[in-house]
Amino acid sequence: MSLKYQVVPVTSFAQNCSIVWCDETMEGIVVDPGGDIQQLAAIIEELGVKVVNLVLTHGHLDHVGGTVPLSEMLNVEIVGPHKADNFWLQGLENQSQMFGFPLCKAFEPNTWLEEGDKVTFGNQVIDVIHTPGHTPGHVVLFSEQARLAFVGDVLFNGAIGRTDFPQGDFNTLITSIKTKLWPLGSDVTFVPGHGPESTFGRERASNPFVADEMPLY
């Protein structure tokens, strides 16, 4: 049994939406459907995945903009993020106007996520880790079996998430990365919200923001 995934960059922000599924049952989830839902629906159909939930890492528009219409199209529930990001979801109309995105109305998920929760589909179990800093209610999704994490905008290949948004905090983000992500193991591959994949080990060695040994320059 194994976990499979396909990353689909969506919106003008090239946000990495991930279709994630159990290859035994073909049940799956969609992580951060930020937009371009017709394209997502076509890929889901082509893959033959039966989506059971849409799962959100945090409340920013480029990650959640397509959530409500896709949930209606697929007749599935919305799960996550942590409720501390509700203010972002309630401000989606303003976010839409600010970034020139199609209008996205405020919504609440069917279920908020908390540290220690599990997201299940088919024979797969995904652990939920609360990782504030980029936003206060950000969560990371981790598959122990696949050694794979979907980290939203917490960590990138060579960078970290922005912390200059309302209720963002640099020190909190660094703490989340070093105390919540690193202990999962250096071999863990992660899919960030933007850009290419990497591993926690590679970022610990060379990421200028969170490397174990910081360069002197």
Average pLDDT, the chain: 96
What are 88-101's pLDDT values in tens digits?
A: 999 999 999 988 88
Q: What is the C-alpha to C-alpha distance for residues 71 and 78, in angstroms, rounded to an integer? A: 7
Q: Is residue 29 part of a domain?
A: yes
Q: Would residue 86 count as lying in a domain?
A: yes
Question: Domain containing 81: what range?
Answer: 3-206
CATH code of the domain covering residue 78: 3.60.15.10
Q: What is the pLDDT of residues 28-45, one digit of tens each?
A: 999 999 999 999 999 999
At 182-212, the pLDDT tens digits run 999 999 999 999 999 999 999 999 999 999 9
104: in domain: yes
Q: How many domains does the chain have?
A: 1
Model pLDDT, residue 54: 98
Looking at the domain assignment, is residue 143 inside a domain? yes
- Segment 150-168 mean pLDDT: 97
Let me know if residue 212 belongs to a domain.
no
Q: pLDDT digits over 1-33, tens only?
A: 699 999 999 999 999 999 999 999 999 999 999
pLDDT of residue 137: 98
Q: Write down the pLDDT at residue 166.
A: 94
Q: Exposure pattern of 186-217 as b/e (b: 16+ CB <10 Å)? A: eebebbbbbeeebbbebbbeebebbeeeeeee
In a domain? residue 215: no
- With respect to residue 216, please indicate whether it lies within any of the assigned structural domains: no
pLDDT of residue 189: 98
Categorize the per-residue pLDDT at 215 as very low, low, confident or very high, splitting at 50, 70 and 90.
Answer: low
Task: Write out pLDDT tens, residues 48-66.
Answer: 999 999 999 999 999 999 9
Residue 213 lies in a domain: no
